[in-house]
A = this chain, B = another copy of it.
Amino acid sequence: MTGSTTSSTTGSTTGPARARRGRRPGAPDTRAAILGAARELFASSGYGGTSIRAVAAAAGVDAALVHHYFGTKDDLFLAALQLPIDPRSAMLPVLEGGLPGAGERLLRVFLGVWDDEQNQQPLLALVRGLAEPSGQRLVRDGVLQMVLGPVGRGLGIDDPERRMALVASQMVGVVILRYLLRAEPLASMAPDELVAAYAPTLQRYLSEPLA
């Protein structure tokens, strides 16, 4: 994951409709073909089962061109997810300060992103994709591997896969109830109320004995 802090210069996670901010605008058709191939392969083979080389072959271009347009495999995967934000930079404040208070910081970042109307619709599109196996794989790899995985490793917790899966299970539930179903009273609760309810849960999953 060498490119994990360099994404701010690629603009690759802002969706295909927006022009790349690099030096060269690139050919939109080639770029779209790469992105389409990437989305298809990540959805069918998962993050781990997809290589830049395979995406390049499926798009009929050279692997170097994929790197040129999209950067690392992580960058390409995030571009394929069409997230409205780059979770790698969004999560940096969670890591700063270490494990104490990380549950609350994670929750506040999460609520800040989701409560922003501009982010909510593209994120909900990803959630609706859960009805299909391809969308399930994108969400599983995207949320666990790309968004929460680096947080667990960055915090240096023991058994990060298990702990971050527990964290994910609570946050995904909030997404479904508050943002997708708009179930009351969750949909109308203020961020501070949600933090009071959920931060101790997340902190326990991150740092306390679970057996």
Contact = CB atoms under 8 A, between A and B. Distances in A.
Contact of A177 (B168, B174, B210, B211): B168
A158 B95 CA distance: 36
A91 interface: no
Contact of A170 (B161, B173, B184): B173
A53 interface: no
Contacts of A172: 172-173, 176-177
B210 A197 contact: yes
Given A168-B173, A169-B176, A170-B173, A140 B204 contact: no
Contact of A193 (B174, B197, B211): B211
Interface string A188-205: 010001001110110011
A209 to B, nearest CB: 9
Count the copies. Answer: 2
Contact of A196 (B136, B180, B183, B211): B211
Contact of A176 (B166, B176, B200): B176
A165 interface: yes
A184 B165 CA distance: 8
A211 B192 CA distance: 9
Kindly name the residue among A168, A178, A201, A211 whose own CB sees the greatest number of chain B CB atoms within 10 A.
Answer: A201
A153 interface: no
B181 A136 contact: yes
Interface in A136-188: 136, 139-140, 144, 161-162, 165-166, 168-174, 176-178, 180-181, 183-186
A19 to B, nearest CB: 30
Nearest to A169: B173
A21 interface: no
The 4 closest A-B pairs by CB, nearest first: A173-B173, A131-B131, A169-B173, A128-B131
